[in-house]
Structure 1
Amino acid sequence: MSASAPRRVAHDVLQAVGESDAYANLLLPTAIARAQLSTADAALATELTYGTLRRRGTYDAVISIAADRPVQEIDAAVIDALRLGVHQLLSTRVASHAAVHESVELVRGAGRGATGFVNAVLRRISRDTPGDWMTRVEQSARSEDERLGLVYSHPVWIVRAFRRALAAEGRADELEALLTADNASPRVTMAALPGLAEVPDDARHTPYSPLGFRLGGGDPEGLVTGSGGRVRVQDEGSQLAALALTRAEPVRPGERWLDLCAGPGGKTAVLAAEALAGGALLEANEISPARAGLVRRAIAGVPLEVDVSEEDGRFRAADTPGLYDRILVDAPCTGLGALRRRPEARWRKSPSDVPSLTELQTELLSAAVLALRPGGIVAYITCSPHLAETSGVVAEVRRAFGSSLEEVDARAVVARVASTDPRLPAQADGSLRAQLWPHRHNTDAMSISLLRRV
């Protein structure tokens, strides 16, 4: 008897994520459609996939204890089946015998040794309560940071980066609340493009973005398709980041705007709608051809001609000095602010990624500043709260440009744009950056800085 279809789909996705650096949010819908899962089975496959990815660090600690060996010594196909089994045993209502049996079936093709090993480890885990296992996991930690990392399933370096970012606001005591929020499934948030779509009467407005709403239930795809893309799925923090640029000051007809790192196009769509309403011109750039295609699709519902180029943003901006009134730099980053929706990112990134990213971010922001007209504004956005990627990059660029560049109060702009004041605290370094948080605002941890060329 083979494993059930939802578990097979989840296992296949986990293997692809681990072995091929696939993205679960892109692969899972395709795998569900290919397997022709029912709505209930699709929901199970989704919960198993994302739940296992989010809690992988904790589950690996449990497996290491139960198997009496490091998870690195366990075959990749076997460890993914074990993780799925542990998730069902410790975090769902699936009956223990079913969780064990189905996990054993997932490795049936790997031979008798694999099935016996999975069966023995999961049966040992099933004999004790989740609380018992969490106590053992905590006792295995060698430091407080490692304990937090194991309990909340985050690499230690991310725990420390989050603590520093929260401490910069005087909120270090919120660390466990943030780690908890990262392991919760995010609600689907929608955006109605301004001037082109209305929030449905039966929807509930989100608290901060004037464009945002949440549906009472059901698949939003029908609404998105029926609107021609003028209603879209988009995190509320992403909406606010785009609006912070377009509404930092009144738009003058004829302004030229540039979205320098536009893929996949969510913020570009908001910029396009705002440019259309204000009589501005918009250009977009995305170095990846595949992501540039996503940008074109994202703005297809906006009746505004937008040229989408496919160049390195550093050179794209440098080739047009002093041309633009507003530029959005949604820079490539570690993505630590979106771990709720892309949980595999926490296991892919490492501290060694940060220096090369901050170098790229600094170069992109510097090129954007040179492309601004005097008086023009650049919005520097990262979906990461890491201080090196946020305050550090802005400080470096401000040092380089000296008195020709001033910081605009992004916190005040976001508070003015928002439907409800998000109460963004001051940063310890004196910067005027706005930082959103999953645990505090129920958004991605979006950082927003605004700089004006003078």
Structure 2
Amino acid sequence: MSENPSGGYRDAKGRQRPESRRHGAGKRTATRPADRRRGGDPARKVAWQVIRAVADGAYANLELPKALRTAELHGRDAGFATELTYGAIRMRGLYDAIIEFAAGRPVSQIDPPVLDTLRIGAHQILNMRVPAHAAASETVALAREVNGAGASGFVNAVLRRITERTREEWIAEVTAGRDRIDALAVEHSHPAWVVRALRGALRAGGITDDAELDTALVKLLEADNAPPAVSLVARPGLATVAELVEAGAEASTLSPVGATLPGGDPADIPAVRQTRAAVQDEGSQLVALALAAADATGTDAEEWLDLCAGPGGKAALLATLAAQQDSVLFVNEVSEHRTDLIRRTLSAAIDSGIEVMVGTGDGRELGAEEPDTYDKVLVDAPCTGLGALRRRPEARWRRTPADVTTLTRLQGELLGSALDAAKPGGLVAYVTCSPHVAETAEIVRAAVEDRDDVTVEDARPLFRDAAGEQVADLGDGPTVQLWPHVHNTDAMFFALLRKKIR
């Protein structure tokens, strides 16, 4: 009897056993009895459970902490489960191409729960410091527990086939014959349309030489696939960077209010548990700091507005910054549920006596309801999230080009409403966590063309690092584009628009 990954087992005459014609249906496995375990280890099982939940619509960054707590995983085991979860989701485009070769069938013909087990095994073999034989045997044990004995034989055969080549050899195999964009998409595990959008954004940012553009694109794709550090923000007046450093973090050189946690659970830090500090990307910190630092109408006790604030990270930072300038932040969110999340995020600020006005409403209508009201308005617009793929690995597989059309319509309406809500002389910051040109420069261009009361100001001088120096490599202006491969932040876009005084 011999292994046949594309169709179970065949006897010496080539006849297929009936029970093994579909993986998961047979009774035998290709693992020697002495190597068999009753089930997978807890870390791998947590990874599989989270990946299955993500397949059903959950978010890895929300689901994984709950699963780790339930399984009581800490330290190295928690770190292993985290890397396995994010890595298998992030790199599934490459792994699926390899699994198809190894299995001899399209991944669409593999049961999704079994496919997720194979992705977990592939990640260990190809991208982790796990010996190939251990990665295969441990994943087969996991398959026996979560997929069944029959499926474990199929998983064993496919993973053993994957171990026969190096990662580089597999990449050469699965990218052969593809054009440049499709080959990059497979190798770096991004949908091809996303690769094209990122290339277009880099070109729009001023890179015109094709060779330089391709180099930058590869660096960006690699940065998307690199596990990001945990970035913390010390909300001014509530916590300090020094307090975070004392708790084990390292002060940021990029954000004046930021720190980086080299390891451990952020919730172990008292300031984070008490919402005086929080996990927040340094790019998100910089855009809030930039708006706070901009000169608006010059009036005392300014009124600021966060037009679409959920889940509230930037609002919490803006609220503390506004309080330091004797100003008041008004917070709006369209969803009652997300409004509740914002209130929880703002709890430490509110408890400390900072005045924050929180309400629920459609941001597209607020400009008509409250025209010429606010000195500063933040439009942190809903977007594809292509700038945060390193932190939200599932986003690359959920978004489609059709989403861009729907979102750009919403983004334009929100920006128009924000400009209506701003006072003459006031400022509107348009922000997205996406570098897609259709969601960034094109939205700003359309707003300026549609109105005669708006100008775009150079935002680059507002971006200051922890030493007070202007952040480098922000683009040609007047807008700002941050990049994972340049600034080690999410790819945040920032445009500052001023409403003219008539």
What range describes the TM-score normalised by the shorter chain of this pair? over 0.9
CA shift for structure 1 position 223? 2.4
Correspondence for 1:440? 486
Task: Look up the equivalent residue of 2:282 and give its one-letter code.
Answer: E
Structure 1 residue 343, shift from structure 2 partner: 0.6
2:304 to 253, 257, 264: 257
5+ residue gaps, structure 1: none
Shift in CA distance, 307/231, structure 1 to aligned 2, threshold 3 Å: same
Give 1:368 deviation, angstroms. 0.6
**1:266: which partner in 2?**
313
AA partner of residue 123 (structure 2)? H
Q: State the percentage of identical aligned residues.
A: 50
Q: Cα deviations across residues 166-200 of structure 1 (Å, max 9, x unaligned)?
A: 11123323110100000011111111122332212
Change in Cα spacing, 1:226 to 1:82, as seen in structure 2 (3 Å) is closer
State the partner residue of 1:422: 471
CA distance in 2, matches of 1:110, 1:3: 11
Deviation per CA, 1:134-165, whole angstroms, max 9, x where unpaired?
A: 221221x5210011011111111111111111
TM-superposition CA deviations, 1:389-409 (whole Å, max 9, x none): 00011111111112x001111
Please tell me whether the aligned partners of residues 366 and 421 of structure 2 are also in contact (alpha carbons under 8 angstroms): no
- The one-letter amino acid paired with 1:103 is T
Residue 31 (structure 2) aligns with:
none
**AA of the residue aligned to 1:248:** A
Return the letter of the residue paired with 1:420: E
- In 2, are the aligned partners of 1:314 and 1:364 still within 8 Å (CA)? yes
| 1:86-105 alignment runs, 5 A limit | 86-105=122-141
Task: Could you tell me which runs of 5 or more consecutive residues in structure 2 were left unpaired when the two chains were aligned.
Answer: 1-37, 208-212
Q: Identify the residue that residue 266 of structure 2 maps to in structure 1.
A: 220
Deviation at 1:423, TM superposition (A): 2.1
Distance in 2 separating the partners of 1:345 and 1:194: 31
CA distance in 1, matches of 2:124, 2:179: 28
Q: Residue 193 of structure 1 corresponds to which residue in structure 2?
A: 235
Q: Deviations over 1:370-411 (max 9, x none)?
A: 011100101000000000000011111111112x00111112
> What CA distance in whole angstroms lies between the structure 2 residues aligned with 1:400 and 1:268?
29
Residue matched to 2:442: 392
If the length of structure 1 is used for normalisation, what is the TM-score?
0.94
Matched residue, 2:409: 359
Match of 2:190 among 147, 154, 157: 154
Equivalent of residue 175 in structure 1, options 217, 221, 226:
217
Residue identity in the other structure for 2:368? A
Query: Following TM superposition, by how much is the alpha carbon of 1:270 offset from its aligned partner in structure 2, in angstroms?
Result: 1.1
Is the contact made by 1:207 and 1:420 (CA closer than 8 Å) also made in structure 2?
no
1:163 touches 1:175 (CA, 8 Å); kept in 2? yes
- Paired residues in the alignment total 448
| Change beyond 3 A, Cα 1:370–1:240 | same
Quick check: 2:253–2:465 contact (8 Å CA) kept in 1? no
Q: How does 1:28-427 map to 2 (within 5 A)?
A: 28-108=64-144, 110-139=147-176, 141-171=177-207, 172=213, 173-200=215-242, 202=246, 203-215=249-261, 217-225=263-271, 228-249=274-295, 252-302=299-349, 303-402=353-452, 404-415=453-464, 419-427=468-476
Do 2:255 and 2:465's aligned partners in 1 also have CA atoms closer than 8 Å? Answer: no
The answer on whether the counterparts of 2:256 and 2:465 sit within 8 Å (CA) in structure 1 is: no
Tell me the distance in 2 between the aligned counterparts of 1:316 and 1:260: 8
Structure 2 letter corresponding to 1:410: A
Contact residue 191 and residue 239 of structure 1 kept, 8 A: yes
Equivalent position amino acid for 1:53 in 2: I
Structure 1: how far apart are the matches of 2:306 and 2:227?
A: 30
Are 1:12 and 2:12 counterparts?
Answer: no
Q: Does the 8 A contact of 2:92 with 2:119 survive in 1?
A: yes
For the residue of structure 2 that corresponds to 1:257, the secondary structure is strand
Cα deviation, 1:191-247, whole Å, max 9, x if unaligned, reads 112233221255533222211122454333232446732222211100111111111
Once residues 176 and 281 of structure 1 are traced to their aligned partners in structure 2, the CA distance between those partners, rounded to angstroms, is: 43
DSSP 3-state at the match of 2:265: coil
Equivalent-residue separation in structure 2 for 1:215 and 1:226 (angstroms): 12
- Aligned partner of residue 463 in structure 2, secondary structure: helix
Secondary structure of the 1:301 match is helix
Distance 1:196 1:252, change over 3 A: farther
Partners of 1:306 and 1:152 lie apart in 2 by 43
Counterparts of 1:286 and 1:224, CA distance in 2: 28
Q: CA contact under 8 A between 1:337 and 1:384: conserved in structure 2?
A: yes
Task: Give the greater-gyration-radius structure (CA).
Answer: 2
Amino acid at match of 2:369: D
3-state SS in 2 of match to 1:9: helix
Deviation at 1:290, TM superposition (A): 2.5
Aligned-residue RMSD, C-alpha: 1.8
Cα pair 1:55 1:183 within 8 Å, conserved: yes
What does the per-residue CA deviation read over 1:287-323, in whole Å, with 9 as the maximum and x for residues that have no partner? 2223222211221112212121121211233311111
Comparing 234-243 and 123-132, the one that deviates more: 123-132
Residues 377, 451 of structure 1: 8 Å contact kept: yes
Larger displacement relative to structure 2 (415-424 or 99-108): 415-424
